């Protein structure tokens, strides 16, 4: 039996409509939610996409912030294409994209760039984090679970290849009805990074 963690309640603070337009021309509209009472005090966001109000089991992706990938289109990781894919799929199904302010698997932006420098010397993404004194993955989904509870989304379909996300959310009282994988966004620049994800954390990616 899983031990469930008692969470302090968070509340919706504001909801504002934001039209989105991506670099490839894809457009949709998001209801962007802010919150009070999030456990770590950070400014996490939830984007309500598509008919999220009418979907009793919303499609949800917790996306951890990646400045280089999300904003600048860095090809060292697959975050940008994952974010783009997730927004369209959630808009189609109705659900929420949780934009979590935990850069670099929770180690921060500067440390992530330091880890890139070590990777250029031959370490993989996890070994580089450990060489800097960090754990493989320091991400925590407490705030994600608090946001889902505040949005009334206690039961969700999860969009992820990362088994740790579902396991953490279930411990935090979110029922995962189903887990759907995201596509593989493989490029010459991120192949080594994606292989490390599969080998170290059981990400459900099929790489040739």
Residues at the interface with Zn ion (CB under 5 A): 66, 69, 77, 79
Partners of 159 in beta bridges = 180
73: left (phi over 0), alpha (psi -120 to 50) or beta: left
Q: Are 106 and 138 in contact (CB under 8 A)?
A: yes
In whole angstroms, how close is the CB of 148 to Zn ion at the nearest point?
23
CA-nearest of 90, 14, 86, 15 to 55 is 90
Element (H, E) at 175: strand 175-180
Is 162 in a helix, a strand, or coil? coil
Question: How far, in Å, CA of 173 to CA of 52, rounded?
Answer: 20
In whole angstroms, how close is the CB of 76 to Zn ion at the nearest point?
7
In whole angstroms, how close is the CB of 85 to Zn ion at the nearest point?
14
Q: Are 124 and 196 in contact (CB under 8 A)?
A: yes
CA-nearest of 116, 118, 97, 10 to 45 is 97
Closer residue to Zn ion, CB minimum distance, 66 or 107: 66
Q: Are 114 and 129 in contact (CB under 8 A)?
A: no
Closer residue to Zn ion, CB minimum distance, 79 or 172: 79
In whole angstroms, how close is the CB of 164 to Zn ion at the nearest point?
16
Closer residue to Zn ion, CB minimum distance, 82 or 157: 82
- The residues annotated with a catalytic role in the active site are 137, 139
């Amino acid at each position: 039996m899983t031990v469930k963690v008692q969470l302090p309640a968070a509340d919706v603070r504001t909801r504002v409509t934001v039209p989105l337009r991506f670099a490839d021309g894809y457009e949709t509209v998001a209801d962007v939610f802010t919150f009070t009472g999030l456990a770590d005090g950070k400014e996490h966001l939830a984007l309500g996409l598509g008919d999220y109000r009418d979907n009793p089991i919303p499609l949800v992706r917790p996306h951890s912030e990646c400045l280089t990938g999300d904003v600048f289109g860095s090809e060292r990781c697959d975050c940008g294409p994952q974010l783009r894919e997730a927004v369209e799929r959630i808009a189609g199904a109705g659900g929420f994209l949780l934009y979590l302010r935990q850069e670099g698997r929770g180690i921060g932006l500067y440390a992530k760039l330091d880890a890139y420098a070590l990777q250029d010397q031959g370490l993989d993404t996890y070994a580089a984090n450990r060489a800097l004194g960090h754990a493989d993955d320091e991400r925590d989904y407490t705030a994600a679970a608090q946001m889902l509870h505040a949005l009334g989304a206690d039961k969700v379909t999860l969009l992820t290849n990362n088994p740790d996300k579902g396991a953490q959310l279930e411990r935090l009282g979110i029922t995962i009805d189903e887990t759907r994988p995201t596509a593989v966004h493989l490029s010459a620049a991120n192949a080594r990074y994606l292989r490390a994800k599969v080998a170290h954390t059981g990400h459900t990616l099929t790489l040739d």
